Amino acid sequence: MRISDVPRQVLPVIVVSQFSATSLWFAANAVMPDLQHAWNLPPTAVGALSSAVQVGFVSGTFAFALLMVADRFAPTRVFLVCAVLGSAANALTVVLDRQWETLLVLRFAVGFLLAGIYPVGMRIAASWYRDRLGAVMGILIGALVLGTALPHGIRALGGSAFPFSWQALLLCVSTLAALGGVAMVLFVPTTSSPAPQHRITARALTVIWTSKAVRASVFAYFGHMWELYTFYVLVPSVLATRLAGSQVSGAAFCAIAAGVVGCVGGGMFVHCFGSARVAATQLAISGACALASPLMLGAPLPLFLSWLLLWGATAAGDSPQFSTLTAQNAPPELVGSVLTFANCVGFAITVASIELFVRCAEAIAMPKLLPWLALGPVLGLIAFRSLWRAPYPPSNPVRGRPS
């Protein structure tokens, strides 16, 4: 479909809906200090809650792909139902009274339903913008990043003079997410040429391993995932070493939201340098930020904050390019399966990373712990070297041929 044929409101509504609905992802993290105080939770609780969402997302991604939910039903309606149900699961937290196991179940449910929001939102965009999907994907992943940061921003808005209760914040996030789902179904029509989807198949695992190009982008993505979500979980604790109160929430919002600049800005350089070099540059910079932690944690405050902004921008900014490269190099009939397996393994890696770092933070000081986040980017760059070293533009690109 030509860009001129797409209704003007489609992309803005998809972006706003994606941003609003994905704010459910880290809603509990934004209120963890209040929850820990009210429920007498240990510091490691933030890791358990974050992991519950990630495990739920992995489970939901597999379930939605196997059942081909977005093929059986209109994707905009799937988005709406998942946004409303996810909002309800998030809002139910406010009626709990130290029911820790139930809270974990609710966070798992939120993650499961996010599988009908984030990937389905991408699918909706793909059905309208196939010719400019790389640029649109950067914008949509930027919306995901901004949605991830939003609960911290809402908490910061209250400040110390008019602080939000943690219950009010969760209800606010739930309301925004539900409204995002309503906007999607009301203002984004169903395209006459939906994005094709093939049934998930284990053949994709063979392609991931045998195709040099696919393997490079997928394994680099795994290294990126080792770092990204653990950074999101730890950034409030890092900021708390220098700031206090609503300043922590405000700075956490900015550090996470900086990923929007990385996603959108990276997309602007793709035509000049190619996705592989843009992704490799951002992966290298984010890894360098992790290695610089021992110096930056004690640096003057402006330099300390600038470091976190740069880390937040580059930790997320390479994500659209990894997805784009994987989709470009995989056989067309296996793109959906390859991306599904890659996403599921990637988010499973985040569970291991989050649990490991949150538990180690109890015994290891941040200056000694944070540099280990660079392990993912370093291994990712090694796996990715065949793509980022290749000349751009390629002289004879071949799509989907194992090598």
State the pLDDT at residue 389: 85
Side chain identity at residue 10, one-letter code: V
State the pLDDT at residue 27: 95
In total, the chain counts a number of residues equal to 403
CA distance 73 to 19: 22
Residue 210: Cβ-neighbour burial (10 angstroms; 0-12, 13-18, 19+): exposed
- Pinpoint the alpha helices (H) of 159-258: 166-187, 203-210, 212-239, 246-257
Contact 138, 18 (CB under 8 A): no
Instruction: Please list the pLDDT of the chain residue by residue as tens digits (403 residues).
Output: 555 577 888 999 999 999 999 999 999 999 999 999 999 999 899 999 999 999 999 999 999 999 989 888 999 999 999 999 999 999 999 999 999 999 999 999 999 999 999 999 988 888 888 767 667 878 889 999 999 999 999 999 876 555 678 999 999 999 999 999 999 999 999 875 665 666 788 888 899 999 999 999 999 999 999 999 999 999 999 999 999 988 999 999 999 999 999 998 888 888 888 889 999 999 999 999 999 999 999 999 999 999 999 999 999 999 999 988 998 899 988 888 999 999 999 999 999 999 999 999 999 999 999 999 999 999 999 999 999 888 877 655 444 443 3
State the pLDDT at residue 400: 43
State the pLDDT at residue 4: 56
pTM of the model as a whole: 0.92
Residue 341: Cβ-neighbour burial (10 angstroms; 0-12, 13-18, 19+): buried
Q: Report the b/e string of 93-119 with b at 16+ CB within 10 A.
A: beeeeeeeeebbebbbbbbbbbbbbbb
Instruction: List the domains of the chain with CATH numbers.
Output: 10-194 (1.20.1250.20), 198-403 (1.20.1250.20)
Closest listed residue to residue 30, CA positions, set 181, 256, 241: 256
Asked if residue 393 has a cis previous peptide bond (ω within 30° of 0), the answer is yes
Side chain identity at residue 108, one-letter code: F
State the pLDDT at residue 399: 45
